[in-house]
Amino acid sequence: MLAGHRTWMFENKPVIVSTGTSGGPFEGNGKIPEDFDVLHNDIWLNEDSFEKAQKVLLEDACKAAVQKAKIQQERVQFFLGGDLINQITPTSFAAKTLGAPYLGLFGACSTSMEGLALGAFIVNHKGADCLLTGAVSHNAAVEKQFRYPTEYGSQKPPTSQWTVTGAGVALLRDQGDGPVVTSATLGRVIDMGLTDPFNMGSAMAPAAVDTIEAHLKERGVDPSYYDVIATGDLGHIGREIALDLFKKHDTSITEKQFQDCGLMIYREGQPVLAGGSGAGCSAVVTYGHLLNRMKKGEIKRLLVVATGALLSPLSYQQKETIPCIAHAVSIEVGGEG
Amino acid sequence: MLAGHRTWMFENKPVIVSTGTSGGPFEGNGKIPEDFDVLHNDIWLNEDSFEKAQKVLLEDACKAAVQKAKIQQERVQFFLGGDLINQITPTSFAAKTLGAPYLGLFGACSTSMEGLALGAFIVNHKGADCLLTGAVSHNAAVEKQFRYPTEYGSQKPPTSQWTVTGAGVALLRDQGDGPVVTSATLGRVIDMGLTDPFNMGSAMAPAAVDTIEAHLKERGVDPSYYDVIATGDLGHIGREIALDLFKKHDTSITEKQFQDCGLMIYREGQPVLAGGSGAGCSAVVTYGHLLNRMKKGEIKRLLVVATGALLSPLSYQQKETIPCIAHAVSIEVGGEG
């Protein structure tokens, strides 16, 4: 099972039989609206709080995945998920709606791949034959908690990022049609001493590089093995730093191959500054856009590297640095069976 | 692997080769001070915030477990843990100190057994041969976040509970001497519509009963199989409700056998109202007191059922009910090999 110190190989090839994605109006106006199963015209989603709206986004995504897999909801054996709201209440309340046994996760914006890594490990070893895993974020809920309510209209520096309103989930099974999860490399906490919460991309880039290089080494593959290596939400600035670090380390990842979910989701001209971010960012782009590109044959081997900044408003106020993490999961087509 | 819908059996019997526990002054004056590896005289632990003190508690517990196992810290392959502070920063910062690849968990006060269940699954299936898992809470950090700072001296109703200042971790290996983890049953979210955050025991009791009854059924054992079935932090009131529910369901669990970590940690006379609670409660009592009783031969088969209330101050303010969960893990001696 163990390719290296922190890489798992999934010989039994858990299958992503379906996915579900949901988004808000800003995402509907973005670059990849056709990759969402459900798009809402209003950020409130008919709820009376942004946190409740966030819960509904995740419920929407779960419902879509279950419907596309043509199974009964009761068939879902476990739900693994999380978000960035205090005590991850949107996810826990969605887990109540779903009714499945629930493992709450916290990996900030790395939660999507923490869940897929654990979920694939569980299915690979017959701990379940059908489970859901995913992550969710809501721009206004997160802004209110981490910064200022959006209604204040406060300004931000160009290094800051835009939290995605959206949820993405994958339905994993031990057999079926779909791309398979082939390996996962778990991240360790990397902290380069940065303290600016308006520049998360820079803080997270070294964690992404650390995990990607560990993955390539422990799996024993060249970067060219992957058609796309997609980070979660480094944005423009973090991506540049990661590319610089690869060059320094002689890791031959090309600019074309190295993409970022936070740079795929919005159109040129949308005011997202350095790019998209949030626990939902890598979840919606992976489970929507990237898997659709796999379906079309444009990508055969994909490594998703979800990046997370493990700070809190309080740890920032207490003048702590920003500890970061990245979890990598490989998804491939053509290896089923 | 799969005894039932949500129970895992661990045929390869992951071993708890060592544990580490730390506590504060109030715990040092409690009923089981000899079961702590590290006790601090001051709740600040020489730090300038309660959150940093909470981080140190977890670092202390990890260090103790690593030392007792006589391994190098670098030997720890993964760390699975969590706490109740927003964005679980105490655990993430401790993970940075530890340096091991890290899976952040959120299960409120059920985190200890969520971590042990996942950790045992990973070791059982050779995803690691050495990992640490645990949970931590700090009374003053949690009071400040969920209620009022302790310095305000605000009064509480007799149904409320006292958050434990303490951390407990287990070092799991694929072989060695020690009690073994034999099975785990994961909880689903149970919400009976209660809304009083000063009466968590009542809210959590049905979740504990649901998981325990599922465990007995899916594992196919009678309650008498276990010497002790210990819930995490139901307290006096929650425990009574659980016993009533067992009686109603004809589940033959005896009063003697059915214990609660929140009722084991403090002395008669300490002002803890309905009992101890917090993510650290079941962690310190299980990894300290209960495993020491196993070592002495007083307990041979133990089921720990950590209970969690998945609310937040915000979900309460938004008039949501309290969703609850319980994860059960069995620990046994005499079955090694």
Confidence of residue B335 (pLDDT cuts 50, 70, 90): low
Q: Is the pLDDT of residue A2 over 70?
A: no
pLDDT tens per residue across span A195-205: 999 999 999 99
Of B82, B121, B323, which has the smallest distance from its Cβ to A96's Cβ? Answer: B323
pLDDT in the model for residue A3:
52
Contact A315, B93 (CB under 8 A): yes
Total residues found in chain B within this entry: 337
Percent of chain B beyond pLDDT 70? 98
Cβ <8 Å between A102 and B1:
no
Do residues B192 and B156 share a domain?
no
* B2 found inside a domain: no
* B324 found inside a domain: yes
Q: Is the pLDDT of residue B35 over 90?
A: yes
Q: Is the pLDDT of residue A132 over 60?
A: yes
Residues in chain A closer than 8 A to B1 (CB atoms) = 125-127
pLDDT in the model for residue B121:
98
Do residues B159 and B206 share a domain?
no
By mean pLDDT, which of B141-150, B223-232, B239-248, B321-330 is the weakest? Answer: B141-150
Which one of A156, A173, A190 terminates a domain? A173
Which one of B173, B201, B227 terminates a domain? B173
Residue in A54, A51, A49 with CA at minimum distance from that of residue A40 = A54
pLDDT tens per residue across span A286-317: 999 999 999 999 999 999 999 999 999 999 99
Bridging pattern class, strands A324-332 and A180-185: antiparallel
pLDDT tens per residue across span A230-244: 999 999 999 999 999
Percent of chain A beyond pLDDT 70? 98
Bridging pattern class, strands B301-309 and B276-277: unpaired
* A48 found inside a domain: yes
DSSP A88: G
Do residues B41 and B135 share a domain?
yes
pLDDT tens per residue across span B232-271: 999 999 999 999 999 999 999 999 999 999 999 999 999 9
- Average confidence score pLDDT of chain A: 96
Confidence of residue B3 (pLDDT cuts 50, 70, 90): low
* A92 found inside a domain: yes
pLDDT tens per residue across span B59-105: 999 999 999 999 999 999 999 999 999 999 999 999 999 999 999 99
Cβ <8 Å between A87 and B189:
no
Do residues B142 and B195 share a domain?
no
Q: Is the pLDDT of residue A335 over 70?
A: no
* A267 found inside a domain: yes
- Whether residue B188 lies within 8 A of chain A, CB to CB, comes out as yes
Confidence of residue A4 (pLDDT cuts 50, 70, 90): low
Do residues A96 and A219 share a domain?
no
Of A106, A188, A189, which has the smallest distance from its Cβ to B88's Cβ? Answer: A106
Residue A32: phi, psi to the nearest 5? -130, 45
By mean pLDDT, which of A291-305, B143-157, B318-332 is the weakest? Answer: B143-157
| Residue B191, domain CATH | 3.40.47.40
Q: Name the residue with tokens 């004056």.
A: B29
Confidence of residue A334 (pLDDT cuts 50, 70, 90): confident
Residues in chain B closer than 8 A to A118 (CB atoms) = 103, 118
Do residues B114 and B235 share a domain?
no
CA geometry: angle at B119 spanning A104 and B313, to 5°? Answer: 25
CA geometry: angle at A300 spanning A81 and A115, to 5°? Answer: 10
DSSP A86: G
Q: What is the mean pLDDT of residues B3-12?
A: 88
pLDDT in the model for residue B307:
98
Confidence of residue A219 (pLDDT cuts 50, 70, 90): very high
Which one of A133, A149, A173 terminates a domain? A173
Q: Is the pLDDT of residue A1 over 80?
A: no
* A2 found inside a domain: no
* B128 found inside a domain: yes
Residues in chain B closer than 8 A to A92 (CB atoms) = 189, 310, 323, 325
* B223 found inside a domain: yes
Q: What is the mean pLDDT of residues B30-43?
A: 98
Of A87, A314, A325, which has the smallest distance from its Cβ to B310's Cβ? Answer: A87
Inter-chain CB pairs, A–B, below 8 Å: 174
- What are the DSSP E strand ranges found in chain A? 7-9, 15-23, 38-39, 78-82, 102-104, 130-137, 162-163, 166-173, 180-185, 228-231, 258-260, 276-277, 301-309, 324-332
Do residues A199 and A287 share a domain?
yes
pLDDT tens per residue across span A12-62: 999 999 999 999 999 999 999 999 999 999 999 999 999 999 999 999 999
- Whether residue B62 lies within 8 A of chain A, CB to CB, comes out as no
pLDDT tens per residue across span B291-304: 999 999 999 999 99
Do residues A111 and A62 share a domain?
yes
CA dist., res. B238 & res. A160, Å (int): 46
Confidence of residue A337 (pLDDT cuts 50, 70, 90): very low
Do residues A302 and A219 share a domain?
yes
- Average confidence score pLDDT of chain B: 96
Bridging pattern class, strands B301-309 and B228-231: parallel
Of B2, B87, B96, which has the smallest distance from its Cβ to A189's Cβ? Answer: B96
What is the total count of domains within chain A? 2
Single-letter amino acid code for the residue at A304: V
Do residues A167 and A185 share a domain?
no
Do residues A315 and A250 share a domain?
yes
pLDDT in the model for residue B337:
36
Do residues A12 and A147 share a domain?
yes
Domain residues for the domain of A233 are 180-332
pLDDT tens per residue across span A74-125: 999 999 999 999 999 999 999 999 999 999 999 999 999 999 999 999 999 9
Q: Is the pLDDT of residue B22 over 70?
A: yes
